[in-house]
């Protein structure tokens, strides 16, 4: 699934993302909204991933949806 589809159905997918990345707080998710770059940045911050690793993790996970 591509990010445009996820953006369009964000409320449906938000719970799946929250379950996947539990270290992100509700406040983080409010800031993230449905913007793809935002979860990448928060994964870097909360999990200590590099930008490339965080981007790959988001891409890999969205491909499974």
Q: Domains of the chain: which residue ranges?
A: 3-64
Query: What does the pLDDT average to over 38-57?
Result: 94
Dihedral of CA 9/34/48/53: which sign?
A: positive
Q: How confident is the model at residue 57 (pLDDT cuts 50, 70, 90)?
A: very high
Q: How confident is the model at residue 8 (pLDDT cuts 50, 70, 90)?
A: confident
In this structure, whether the domain defined by 3-64 belongs to CATH 1.10.1470.10 is answered with: yes
Q: Give the model's pLDDT for residue 49.
A: 94
Over pLDDT 90: what percentage of the chain?
51
Residue 65 to residue 62: CA distance in whole angstroms: 5
**Is 90 exceeded by the pLDDT of residue 2?**
no
């Amino acid at each position: 699934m591509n990010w445009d589809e996820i953006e369009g159905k964000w409320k449906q997918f938000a719970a799946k993302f929250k379950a996947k990345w539990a270290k992100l707080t509700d406040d983080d998710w409010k800031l993230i909204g449905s913007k793809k770059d935002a979860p990448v940045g928060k994964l870097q911050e909360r999990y200590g991933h590099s930008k490339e690793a965080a981007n790959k993790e988001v891409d890999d996970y969205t491909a499974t949806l």
